[in-house]
Amino acid sequence: MKKILVINAGSSSLKFQLIAMPEREVLASGLVDRIGQETSTYSFLTTDIKIEESEIIPDHEYAMALVAEQLLDPIYGVIDTPSQIDTVSHRVVHGGSIFKEPTLINETVKEKIKELFSLAPLHNPANLTGIEVSEQIFPDAIQIAVFDTAFHQTIPEHAFRYAIPNELYEQHQIRVYGFHGTSHKYVSKKAIEYLENPEAKLVVLHLGNGCSATAIVNGESVDHSLGFGPVPGLIMGTRSGDIDPAAVLYLIDKLGYSAEEVNHILNKKSGLLGLTGHSDLREIQKGVSNGDAACILALEMTAYRIRKYIGAYTAAMNGIDALVFTAGIGENSALLREKVCENLDFLGICINNDKNENTEKGIREIQNGYTKILVIPTNEELEIAIQSYELMEA
């Protein structure tokens, strides 16, 4: 049995799972949230206990030390010494076109991750901090990086290239990279197993605070809604999704915003937040129930944008076998799933309202039509553990 500690460090959070492989048994899990803010929280869960506390957690280094403290606690911890961790596996958001597989971490790999800071400024620095701190806390463990962008390296050139001067691609690698790859890979594998069809044509919708759509054929990503960075595509919690570049230039040239300010607007102040004042879809759904016009419009815009990508990807794949919903919103919002599936009956996509309202866990079908509509819970941490274990056993 190998004990793999999976670290998923976000810009202001740190999720973890300690997983025994190949048994896939979760020994402990938890979340450190709101890192660097006035009130931070953390949770720690095993088969025996659940701890939820609030305290000031100033940075990711402190958060990693807190995770280790919980795992090693003499009363409720699940390991006796740091050396009992065989591997620490890290989710790294951006691997550029360099990293296409799970990778053993060394100084060269860390330098490459640092070079990619500009492509994922909110995530790659936190990912690298998680790596460096875990090397200190778990010095005997193998350190592995699993990159969000890796799954999308199968996208063909005609889909990942932008129609800009060639030298901008050749010299500066400006292209579609894609994100949420670990989630899309895990969920598409589950869908293929469920459908018993390795050649299935899938549109997978990862809908959370960040949102993306992926076209998948034969288990491989062939197109994806996020691009060079994590802004384009679907409407998200605080990100705009697709926007005309002319609007960006207008903000800079005519309204006097700096490039940094525009970047902040598109990443942090737009999307559902910009439309309604709420970044959480649950609050927007409450607004819809109360007749709030801004919330109603935001929901319609969100569903409409998703429908356009479903249509585009169905055309790109010359068909669709299943539409798959996953992640926090995709798994839990029956209302958004219903709205997304409206007026798609020409693709055989027709939702069954009773099945859609069902809240059972696990994979479930919610369609009336001939095209499958699946809700599949994602598990990025387990997928990272699986890929890491396969690398170690290779």
Residues catalogued as catalytic? 148
Q: What is the DSSP string of 171-227?
A: TT--S---S-HHHHHHHHHHHHHHHT-TT-EEEEEEESSSEEEEEEETTEEEEES--
Q: Is 348 annotated as a binding residue?
A: no
Q: Is 61 annotated as a binding residue?
A: no
Q: Is 91 annotated as a binding residue?
A: yes
CA distances from 19 to 25, 91, 215 (A): 5, 15, 30
What pairing do the DSSP bridges indicate for beta strands 13-21 and 2-9? Answer: antiparallel
Q: Is 274 annotated as a binding residue?
A: no
Instruction: Report which DSSP code applies to 351.
Output: B
Q: Is 210 annotated as a binding residue?
A: yes
Continuous H helices in the chain: 60-72, 107-115, 124-137, 157-160, 166-170, 181-195, 245-253, 259-268, 271-276, 281-289, 293-317, 327-332, 334-340, 353-357, 380-393
Six token digits for residue 347: 């693709």
Q: Is 15 annotated as a binding residue?
A: yes
Among candidates 16, 33, 24, 145, which has minimal Cα distance to 6?
16
In DSSP terms, 53 is beta-bridged to 42
* Number of C-beta neighbours around residue 37 at 10 A: 12
Six token digits for residue 393: 């056993």
> Letter for the amino acid at 194?
Y
Q: Is 197 annotated as a binding residue?
A: no
Among candidates 209, 333, 212, which has minimal Cα distance to 280?
209
Six token digits for residue 144: 């592995």
Rounded distance, CA 192 to CA 231, Å? 29
Q: Is 354 annotated as a binding residue?
A: no
Q: Is 106 annotated as a binding residue?
A: no
Q: Is 330 annotated as a binding residue?
A: yes
Specify binding-site residues. 8, 15, 91, 206-210, 280-282, 328-332, 380
Specify binding-site residues for Mg(2+). 8, 380
Specify binding-site residues for ATP. 15, 206-210, 280-282, 328-332
Specify binding-site residues for substrate. 91
